[in-house]
Amino acid sequence: MSHLHRLLLVGMVVSTLLGIISHRAQSAEWSAEPSFNVKGVYNSNLILSTGNNEVWGYWTSPAVKFKGATESFMIEGNAQADFVQYYGQQDRGFTNLLFPVRTSYEWERLKFGFDGGFTRDNTLMSELRQTGLVLTFTQRNLWTANPSVTVGLAERVSWQVGYQFVDATYQNGLSLGLVNYQTNGGTSELSYELREHDKIKLIGEATNFVASQIQQTWTYEGVKIGASHDFSESLSATVSGGPKFITSTKGGVPGGSLTQHDVVWVYNANIKQEFEQSTISLDGGRELYPSGFGLLVQTDRVTGSISHRLTENLTASLTGGLYFTQPVASTGGSFPQTRYINVNPNVSWKFAQWWTLSVGYTYAERAVGSVNFWANANSTFVMLTYTGDKWSVSR
**Right CATH for 3-394 from 3.40.1130, 2.40.160, 1.20.120, 2.40.10:** 2.40.160
Percentage of the chain lying above the pLDDT 70 cut:
90
Asked if 324 contacts 338 with a C-beta cutoff of 8 angstroms, the reply is yes
What is the CB-side half-sphere exposure of residue 59 using CA atoms within 13 A? 21
- From residue 211, alpha-carbon distances to 23, 168, 217, 246, 265 in Å are 41, 10, 6, 16, 23
- pLDDT, residue 313, reads 95
Q: Give the pLDDT band (50/70/90) at residue 176.
A: confident
Cα angle 295, 300, 302; round to 5:
140
User: What's the rounded mean pLDDT across residues 111-122?
Assistant: 93
Does the pLDDT of residue 165 top 60, yes or no? yes
Give the CA diameter of the chain.
Answer: 69
**Domain residue extents for the chain:** 3-394
- pLDDT, residue 314, reads 97
Asked if 284 contacts 305 with a C-beta cutoff of 8 angstroms, the reply is no
**Tens digits of per-residue pLDDT, 83-115?**
999 999 878 889 999 999 999 999 888 999 999
Cα–Cα dist 395/16, whole Å: 21
pTM of the model: 0.85
**Tens digits of per-residue pLDDT, 177-236?**
889 999 999 999 999 998 888 999 999 999 999 999 988 899 999 999 999 999 998 999
